[in-house]
A and B are shown apart, each in its own frame.
Chain A
Amino acid sequence: MKAASKVYMALIFIFLYAPILVLIIFSFNDTDTMSRSVFYGFSLRWYKRLFEDRMILIALINTLVIAVVAAIVSTVLGTFAAIGINGMGKKTRKLVMNITNFPMVNPEIVTGVSLMLLFVFISNKIKGLGLGLGTLIIAHITFCLPYVIMSVLPKLRQMDSNLYEAALDLGCTPRRALWKVVLPEIMPGIVTGMIMAFTLSIDDFIISYFASGTTQTLSIYIYSMTRKRISPEINALSTLMFLVIMILLVIVNIRQSADRRALRRKGTEGE
């Protein structure tokens, strides 16, 4: 029974990670052909080629600009939204949470198409707002927002509500109490939310595809590469993206589990 469950687990991991493993291995393949069957030897030539490709570098810069701006803006908006939601009555809070969570379960393609339609509609009314970097950033802020709210809100719920009152009691205006006491308290949640937003933004393809116009991001560029000449550069680029995303997710996970541990400790001490 125990052996069977181990085999089962191994199979699942193989299913999940075999394709990525193949991708990583073949990104180091020392050959000019797009061979997926023969490994000719270890080489970094495709990585070197990657950083010589001007198109890829432009896409990389676009991706980073979008991710940084979207992460910052959605973190600021999401944090204040979470503070607002936390202050609501039970019923309104539930309703608003459902509304904010909806985009997370909404099919990405629907979000993408609807955002594109909206952008096109607006750009017809207002000149100079065509699809491009601007619309990409707006789209990314939109889908990152609920994730930021989701990671900040629990921190607010955990916070001793007396802390805010204590700050008021000691002479803070409500705004000052927010800056000096509430924000420092929920900072771990804010940082986690920001990393998450950054990750999601780098990661995204579908929504970006519809909101991009002619602007290239890394994921869109990889997609377009597959449509013309298939080159092992794709392997190298995908490997790098995979690694970056994985590292970011691991950081988020470590932060969250450290947080849960701290909470459990606090819980037992309190009794």
Chain B
Amino acid sequence: MENNVLVSLENVTVSFDGETPVLKDFNLSIRDGEFVTLLGPSGCGKTTILRSIGGFITPDSGDIYFNGVKITDLPPHKRNVNTIFQRYALFPHLNVYENVAFGMRIKNKSEKEINETVHKMLELVDLKGYAKRGVGKLSGGQQQRVAIARALANDPKMLLLDEPLSALDMKLRKDMQSELKKIQQTTGITFLFVTHDQQEALSMSDTVVVMDKGVIQQIGTPEDIYNEPKNAFVADFIGESNILDGLMLEDYVVSFAGATFKCLDKGFEKREPVDVVIRPEDVKVTEAAKGMLRGVVTSLNFQGVHYEIIVDVKGFKWMIQSTDFEEVGKEIGIILDPDDIHVMKKSEYSGMFGDYSTFSDEMEEDINAASSVDGEAEE
């Protein structure tokens, strides 16, 4: 594994204007050919990492290695990486062709080679026949494609993408996601993708790096991150989750919400306080008498594929996703199987997330600004 590392950051610390560091002693390795996503809320330092690798930020301390060579002080134009900027940063005074040719002209490539590459790239991003257009007249999605073609024309070892899809509307964003993934697979170039949209991260990446406050919270495949969140922050940031205080009685036995459950987790101290995560789609609803837990339905929202039901269980509001209609005010039962329950160690984030008592759709939109409310996490 170690020998095909393309980029590594070692003890990188970055601060702006002497304020508290955005990154402190940050370490990260990225393997060659991987699609890695840095996921986190704004201000978590993910863009800073990208800009450090691109050469636009010089770390206060620590080093960055590219292919085993130290590039910490190398200026951007000498690095074999290219960046896709959030607002595309196409050159307005040049047409599509010249934008894509820009990097090659700087490197004094022959006119024949430039011509071939430009057309190959435009074909790759599905913009054949757009060569002579001015970039100002293109739609957002098309500008995005030109930016990708412009970067790829330089044959970089690695592509850095800074929230490149955030300016596009929902449908276009989905199309571009699969297209980016396809481009990454056909070219084999390492992608480092920055986003705050969890759905985007889960659907595109080989590896997701979840960050908050300049610290890596979890690294793993999208499945790992979703199914086995390491702490309350990850559980809450990725998809919807009910996060409860629990007590690990012994291996495979946990108690929470006033009842004792079998689970699949072990390796905790006896009677260790823990956080318990239960995904809304894993909860099974039954008659009140048959339930392991009982609660009263306090609200119901139709979401298309399913209903989103908020249930009050002894004062804690659960979110449950169910395809069956339940009446508000009715008492229902809840059944949880051992593999529905995920136990996490307590962390600084314990108690901050996971209760839906203040839940409303509007609030949720504020929190996940660009990502939509739900349903996508399951894909």
Contact = CB atoms under 8 A, between A and B. Distances in A.
Contact of A171 (B54, B89, B93, B154): B154
Contacts of A166: 83, 85, 89-91
B87 A162 contact: yes
B59 to A, nearest CB: 17
A173 B76 CA distance: 9
Nearest to A183: B93
Interface string B61-102: 000000000000001110001110111011111000000001
A180 to B, nearest CB: 8
Contacts, number: 62
A38 interface: no
B41 interface: no
Interface residues of B, number: 24
Interface in A153-181: 160, 162-163, 165-174, 176-177, 180-181
A128 interface: no
B85 A184 contact: no
B82 A170 contact: yes
B70 to A, nearest CB: 19
Interface of B is mostly: loop
A170 B154 contact: yes
Given A181-B91, A184-B93, A170 B85 contact: no
A182 to B, nearest CB: 10
A204 interface: no
A168 B154 contact: no
Contacts of A176: 106
B55 interface: yes
Contact of B89 (A165, A172, A174, A180): A165
Given A165-B56, A165-B76, A165-B83, A170 B89 contact: no
B103 interface: yes
A37 B136 CA distance: 59
Nearest to B83: A169
Given A168-B76, A171-B77, A171-B107, A162 B93 contact: no
Contacts of A160: 87, 89
B74 to A, nearest CB: 12
A177 B81 CA distance: 17
A162 B89 CA distance: 6
Given A162-B87, A165-B56, A170 B106 contact: yes
A170 B91 CA distance: 12
A165 B85 contact: yes
Interface of B: 54-56, 75-77, 81-83, 85-87, 89-93, 102-103, 106-107, 150-151, 154
Interface of A: 160, 162-163, 165-174, 176-177, 180-181, 184-185
